[in-house]
Structure 1
Amino acid sequence: MAGSALAASLIGGLIGGLIAGAASAQQTDAPPRAAKRPHQVASPNGARNDDYYWLRDDTRKNPDMLGYLAAENAWADARLASLTPLKTRLYDETVAHIKQDDGSVPYRKHGYWYGSRYQTGADYPIVERRKGSVTAPAEILFDQPAMAKGLSYFSIGDYAVSPDDARIAWAEDIVGRRQFALKVKNIATGRITTDTVANIEPNVVWADDRTVLYVEKDPVTLRGYRVKAHVLGTPATTDRLLYEEKDDTYQMGIARTADDRFVCIGVQSTVSDEQRCAPVAGAATSPAAFAVIAPRAREFRYHADHLGGRWIVRTNRDAKNYKLVTIADADMARGTAGWRDLTPASDTVFIEDFRPFAGFVAVDQREGGNRMIRLLTDAGASQAVKADEPGYRMALDVNEEPDTPWVRYTYGSLVTPTTTYEVNARTGERRVLKVAPVPGYDPAKYVTERVWAPARDGTRIPVSLVHARGVKRDGTAPLLQYAYGSYGISMDPGIDPGRIGLLDRGVVFAIAHIRGGQEMGRGWYDDGHLLNKRNSFTDFIDVTRYLVAQRYAAKDRVAAMGGSAGGLLMGGIANMAPADYRVIIAQVPFVDVVTTMLDASIPLTTFEYDEWGNPAQKPYYDYMLGYSPYDNVTARAYPAMYVGTGLWDSQVQYYEPAKWVAKLRELKTDANPLLFRINMEAGHGGKSGRFERFRQNAEWQAFMLQQLGVAG
């Protein structure tokens, strides 16, 4: 929607008087109140009334809805006005910890060194390459500051250079709804071709010098479901269909193998994978060229890569925490009977990822709650890369050329800036390529710990902590506790420039590695989803109570924060243990679980039946209804709350938090502030640009510090 039209809709909504209390909020000092309009949400297990269902508008043009959101933004502006100086200080302090003209560590591919660099004050980087040497003249691939000029949102999701190194294809989003467009340009001339394809995933792969493969999205559900081949210079309407996924519980992606010999289409659900690969020569023209590595089956997951006459596969077949197997090219026709174990199954080591090299494999794994790297030679020798802190994160970095003994990886912790290393798999030599600069930061001023909090069922929950060295463990400090706890996504420790100002003000920061992630292996995830989802909520609450009991924090100075599925966590603890928290920050929160999961037209719903359950089935319906934050709001006292969303969010639709806030305003019995910030020009990740994130963060940080009684 054009900016002027959006403004007109907002004004019309405010003047129309159709939102109860919206127009009078600024005059009476009362918060906005959304009108109640009874609506029956049907399901196979009975109907439920939803008074705020009308706030859903898929066109995002309804003046009543837009008027209510505008009133909420105006209310937040008014309540936060006095915090403007603190907000400004927090933002300025954060920016002071950022090296504004920083650049990435260049990596080599096909004789070119690729990298990116920021100019001082720029929100977006310049992406470039240099032929033969890092000191050669730069070819500009993307001048993103220029590309983003005049746009309220800009993102390049993926890019790929053609095999002849002459052209570059990329996926571009200028709305924030993750509906990308394919674009192509000639690198030498900078001329953008007429080739464009709308509504694709941020995933592009070249099959040959003239053909780009992409994943087309369903226009309603936004599910990537078709792989197509676009030949340069031809209309998109003639693009060849290479594969269509009929099962709407699967999503897909495309990639080349490490040796560039195959193009693979991978489809995945929560509990199943299937991968089909074709030699590069036939990938663009023949759907029949794609052969399935192993057919899909429930509770069978795998991912395959190819190098040196063999396939290497990460799989959970007979290994809950995954293992690596190999398949000789000659044995592919035998299926899984031709698989040979490269690593054993383990109850304590979870294999997260891998990268094949000539003569060895770099394994990205988890053990004891930490993510680490292990190097495994073809001869069977194993070498772990050393770490020196109790809580840390290692991860494989960009390794585009497999014919080298040097493996690039990153290391960081809650006090150690992200450091890019490379280690020699033959000699063990390790060298630092770059320490991410953090101006004005001294790691010696801070302390990090790893503690284990007992959950109510006896499970020990790992917790990563950081605080300034002078903070006393005497039960008086303020605490910010963060977690995610869904989809098997693990939250690893790392430095955030926007967190340093909080630490310097005496705030203790904790990451609760709750069940629902995979920090402790696949069983950790299994114990935190479907009919075990409540464990995620109770784990978080039990970590809070443990940290308070151990005098890391004051009982009445605890803040909780989570976003997306972590926002569901925030909604859950707000209903289950509101007295344990002084303030809750919920960003883009997934809080209307049952209604959303009943609607297969909503993006992501069908992918996630194996994450949350399908509420068409009564056991799941009853269980989900028992914890869904929106459905469990009652007349009670709630903590102070800051809720954020984006109007164009495609992952958690804006109307979920809008309905939740409206219901909280109706029923909550306390006088604690409830603020709802709606970004009208952004999606799930907020506005684009490297500084904009910190500007948005400074607002909720200022609000949180005020509620915790922390001096500015």
Structure 2
Amino acid sequence: MKMPLLLAISALMTINPAAANPPDAERKPFTVTTPFGASRQDDYYWMRDDERQDPAVLGYLEAENAYANELLAPLKPVQEKLYGEIVARIKQDDSSVPFRDHGWWYYSRYEAGKDYPVYARRKDGQGVDAISIQAANEAGDFAAEQVLLDVNELAAGKDYFSVGDYEVSPDNSLLAWAEDAVGRRQYTIRFRNLATGEVYPDTITGVSPNLVWADDNRTLFYVENDPETLLTVRVKKHVLGTPAEQDQLVYEEEDDSFYMGIGRTRDDKYITIGLDSTVSSEVRYAPAADPREFRVLAPRQRDVEYDADHHGGRWVIRTNADGATNFKLVTAPSDATSRKQWQDWLPHDPEVFIEEYELFDGFTAVGERSGGLERVRILRADGSQQYVSADEPAYSMGLSVNSEPDTQWLRYGYTSLTTPATTYELNVATGERRQLKQQPVPGYDPSRYATERVWVEARDGVRIPVSLVYRKGFRKNGTAALFQYAYGSYGISMDPGFNGPVVSLLDRGVVYAIAHIRGGQEMGRTWYEHGKLLEKQNTFNDFVDVTRALVAQGYAAPGRVAAMGGSAGGLLMGAVANQAPQDYKVMVAQVPFVDVVTTMLDPTIPLTTNEYDEWGNPEQQEYYEYMLKYSPYDNVAAQAYPAMFVGTGLWDSQVQYWEPAKWVARLRDLNTGSAPVVFRTNMDAGHGGKSGRFRRFREQAEYYAFVLDQLGVAEEP
């Protein structure tokens, strides 16, 4: 006899919340005040420890980890099975598509069973190209290879390790790289002689992973971080062989709402300093051959954003100036210092968002968004143009690594929820297209899966695009489980790209959905503008409305919906959990930004001042009151919450660990339901989780097992 659906679901449950007692964090009253006199009580403010050394705080985090271990112990077999499936879809000795630069072909590769990449290069020559190098790597022929960095060796014996950036000097003789052994994104720069392998004693600490060599092959430009806020505050230059304390200050930014980065232009003629806030930009430039004085390309102005590159004797600038909400392209002479010198080239289109561009000798490639999807437009020197084609209803497409401008071949990437990441190159003169590589996914057959794009009408009448994927044979009869993901902040678009671990969900009958909600930029710049500041509630409404529509249309059963978001997407999870807990069976919030008001009131916390134009400045009463209405931590209520899996990293520099810690403590105080709340802290990791390509999949397998258990999904595919 067939069991009723809900009975069948409950029969699959293996977690028993009564089997363990969750930690009961001590309350210590603390008043958080604002400059205009408002105040709030925060009983868990004591959990903030900037040094990460307080025994009481560490003890609480360890107690939560112990509780998580006990609660999830019955799911260990499922975790191991999921981990095995996920790792089995990874080609362990894979390598990237090589690209040519200054007479060498560069790539990264992995060795079987190892967590970290090897960065290497091969000398250009007769018969040497991307395809032949990939074939040699596939065959294990590394005789002609020069290893730049073996990150496995550098990471040996360390709990965390990451190489954030590396740069080879213009004469190909020296390597500079930035490494992080903590996970807090405070990097250390080191140097190596590529001919001898010697590592020089020069060491520069407390920097961002952003490096640029000058033409003299001895001078390196880098960006120094503020040690407390971690903001990028100073550009300095280091001359190899001299003490770092003597490094010369090149530029210092006094406005702490700006981020800073450095680069070289397309034609290698200039070194640039890029300064960006949420609503304003500025570019400074100096000749790479003699970078002593940096000139301003165009002075910063509020609500005017721009980025610039130089090629063909002119600047090409992407900007939203003069009402170009979706951005336009303009040009300027090489000695430009003012917007008055800008000339429109590719005009603004209210239906097309210009996202990126790449300059070549005979054409320009433009990455755009239209109708919620990406496309690549080719602009030829003769004025003609064409679009790169796509074959699926929901996909992601964008410019790939195009390291040299003197070519007819354009590289671009293509992927979808069913198509693994693929790198193509297109000859813009002949139309010939060739596939350079598709991400190998052992055991995966794309013909077994289907993807579609649907539109959902939000409560205010705006149509929200949603990308879906499921295993073929799925029936839209209202019985399936749904796993819905979104982000919805900073204008960052969550495009429908292939996700190997998700296949384990699909094979168990789960429908996977990406909700392209406001706050991202999938539908153009206004999509972002209507999902931030005093319109942030649209982000949360969109997510909930998508869920309700998908359930109403039969994609899922009402009691079988999971939701997930991370970082600012964790804020989304926290707000939705407070506002619509009944719509979700289980939620995953990774490194969640949940204590919005307290964090934004404290300018000493990394990233706070940079983001007043994203969330609002709560020192102003209007923004304070609005943020207070949705801040997850402040709105935890006496109600039944979904099952929750909350993850954080002790050394997270972007969302401090104490935000989710406090949130979970308050959830434990007020939650009237019986669904489990799991809080997992990685004691040796930062915002991106543990380092290494396999370790993070163990974390993913853990919360996947938790989600599947709560949804009542069978353990076997």
TM-score, normalised on structure 1?
Answer: 0.95
Question: Matched residues in 2 for 1:336 and 1:616: separation?
Answer: 33
1:300 maps onto 2:292 in alignment: no
SS at match of 2:289: helix
Question: Matched residues in 1 for 2:268 and 2:588: separation?
Answer: 45
What's the offset of the Cα at 1:693? 1.4
- 1:231 pairs with one of 232, 235, 239: 239
1:72 maps onto 2:64 in alignment: yes
- 1:406 pairs with one of 404, 409, 419: 409
- Structure 1: which amino acid aligns with 2:319? T
What's the offset of the Cα at 1:368? 0.9
1:397 maps onto 2:404 in alignment: no
Question: Matched residues in 1 for 2:18 and 2:418: separation?
Answer: 47
What's the offset of the Cα at 1:363? 0.5
- 1:191 pairs with one of 194, 198, 201: 198
Q: In the alignment, which residue of structure 2 is the partner of 1:290?
A: 294
1:201 maps onto 2:208 in alignment: yes
Q: In the alignment, which residue of structure 2 is the partner of 1:213?
A: 221
Q: Deviations over 1:491-518 (max 9, x none)?
A: 0111111111110000000000000000
1:129 maps onto 2:121 in alignment: yes
Q: In the alignment, which residue of structure 2 is the partner of 1:14?
A: none
Question: Matched residues in 1 for 2:561 and 2:246: separation?
Answer: 58
SS at match of 1:58: coil
What's the offset of the Cα at 1:27? 11
SS at match of 1:71: helix
SS at match of 2:523: coil
What's the offset of the Cα at 1:704? 0.1
Q: In the alignment, which residue of structure 2 is the partner of 1:35?
A: 26
SS at match of 1:497: coil
Q: In the alignment, which residue of structure 2 is the partner of 1:9?
A: none
Question: Matched residues in 2 for 1:543 and 1:224: separation?
Answer: 38
- Structure 2: which amino acid aligns with 1:455? A
Aligned residue pairs: how many? 682
What's the offset of the Cα at 1:336? 1.9
- 2:147 pairs with one of 140, 148, 151: 140
1:119 maps onto 2:111 in alignment: yes
Question: Matched residues in 2 for 1:436 and 1:108: separation?
Answer: 20
Q: Deviations over 1:509-555 (max 9, x none)?
A: 00000000000000000000000000000000000000000001111
Q: Deviations over 1:81-130 (max 9, x none)?
A: 00000000000001111111111111000010001111111111111100
1:270 maps onto 2:278 in alignment: yes
Q: For residues 289-328 of structure 1, what are the structure 2 equivalents within 5 Å?
A: 289-318=293-322, 319-328=324-333
Question: Matched residues in 2 for 1:495 and 1:303: separation?
Answer: 29
Question: Matched residues in 1 for 2:680 and 2:369: separation?
Answer: 37
SS at match of 2:501: helix
Q: In the alignment, which residue of structure 2 is the partner of 1:444?
A: 447
What's the offset of the Cα at 1:446? 0.4
Q: In the alignment, which residue of structure 1 is the partner of 2:669?
A: 666
Q: For residues 279-428 of structure 1, what are the structure 2 equivalents within 5 Å?
A: 279-283=287-291, 286=292, 289-318=293-322, 319-329=324-334, 332=336, 335-428=338-431
What's the offset of the Cα at 1:28? 8.5
Q: In the alignment, which residue of structure 2 is the partner of 1:246?
A: 254
Assess if the C-alpha contact under 8 Å between 2:20 and 2:71 holds in 1: no
Q: Deviations over 1:324-355 (max 9, x none)?
A: 1111336x25x222222221111111011111
Q: In the alignment, which residue of structure 1 is the partner of 2:179?
A: 172
Question: Matched residues in 1 for 2:308 and 2:19: separation?
Answer: 62
SS at match of 2:647: strand
SS at match of 1:194: coil
Assess if the C-alpha contact under 8 Å between 2:235 and 2:252 holds in 1: yes
- Structure 1: which amino acid aligns with 2:202? D
SS at match of 1:595: helix
Q: In the alignment, which residue of structure 2 is the partner of 1:20?
A: none
Give RMSD over aligned pairs: 1.3
Bigger shift: residues 522-531 or 490-499: 490-499
SS at match of 1:341: strand
What's the offset of the Cα at 1:29? 3.2
1:96 maps onto 2:88 in alignment: yes
Question: Matched residues in 1 for 2:86 and 2:226: separation?
Answer: 40
Bigger shift: residues 43-52 or 220-229: 43-52
What's the offset of the Cα at 1:47? 1.4
Gaps of 5+ in 1: 1-25
Question: Matched residues in 2 for 1:558 and 1:175: separation?
Answer: 36
Question: Matched residues in 2 for 1:329 and 1:444: separation?
Answer: 51
Assess if the C-alpha contact under 8 Å between 2:19 and 2:71 holds in 1: no
- Structure 2: which amino acid aligns with 1:325? V
Assess if the C-alpha contact under 8 Å between 2:20 and 2:70 holds in 1: no
Question: Matched residues in 2 for 1:161 and 1:100: separation?
Answer: 27
Q: In the alignment, which residue of structure 2 is the partner of 1:19?
A: none
TM-score, normalised on structure 2?
Answer: 0.94
Question: Matched residues in 2 for 1:650 and 1:380: separation?
Answer: 47
- Structure 1: which amino acid aligns with 2:424? Y
Q: For residues 48-59 of structure 1, what are the structure 2 equivalents within 5 Å?
A: 48-59=40-51
Q: 1:439 to 1:27 in 2, by over 3 A?
A: closer
Question: Matched residues in 2 for 1:386 and 1:653: separation?
Answer: 43
Gaps of 5+ in 2: 1-16, 137-142
Assess if the C-alpha contact under 8 Å between 2:23 and 2:60 holds in 1: yes
1:623 maps onto 2:615 in alignment: no
What's the offset of the Cα at 1:282? 2.1
SS at match of 1:561: strand
Question: Matched residues in 1 for 2:632 and 2:502: separation?
Answer: 28
Q: Deviations over 1:168-204 (max 9, x none)?
A: 1011001000000111101121111011110100101
SS at match of 1:450: strand
Question: Matched residues in 1 for 2:381 and 2:607: separation?
Answer: 40
- 1:694 pairs with one of 691, 697, 710: 697
What's the offset of the Cα at 1:224? 0.6
Question: Matched residues in 2 for 1:29 and 1:612: separation?
Answer: 38
SS at match of 1:281: coil
Question: Matched residues in 2 for 1:44 and 1:467: separation?
Answer: 51
SS at match of 2:177: strand
Question: Matched residues in 2 for 1:711 and 1:574: separation?
Answer: 25
Question: Matched residues in 2 for 1:622 and 1:690: separation?
Answer: 42
1:105 maps onto 2:97 in alignment: yes
Q: In the alignment, which residue of structure 2 is the partner of 1:62?
A: 54
Q: Deviations over 1:424-445 (max 9, x none)?
A: 1222221110111111001110
- Structure 2: which amino acid aligns with 1:329? S
Bigger shift: residues 26-35 or 541-550: 26-35
Q: 1:64 to 1:243 in 2, by over 3 A?
A: same
What's the offset of the Cα at 1:378? 2.5
Question: Matched residues in 1 for 2:363 and 2:19: separation?
Answer: 70
Q: In the alignment, which residue of structure 2 is the partner of 1:160?
A: 167
Question: Matched residues in 1 for 2:582 and 2:539: separation?
Answer: 18
- 1:549 pairs with one of 527, 531, 552: 552
Q: In the alignment, which residue of structure 1 is the partner of 2:713?
A: 710
Question: Matched residues in 1 for 2:197 and 2:490: separation?
Answer: 41
SS at match of 2:273: strand
Q: In the alignment, which residue of structure 1 is the partner of 2:528?
A: 525
Question: Matched residues in 2 for 1:138 and 1:28: separation?
Answer: 55
Question: Matched residues in 1 for 2:327 and 2:381: separation?
Answer: 19
Question: Matched residues in 1 for 2:242 and 2:334: separation?
Answer: 36
SS at match of 2:549: helix
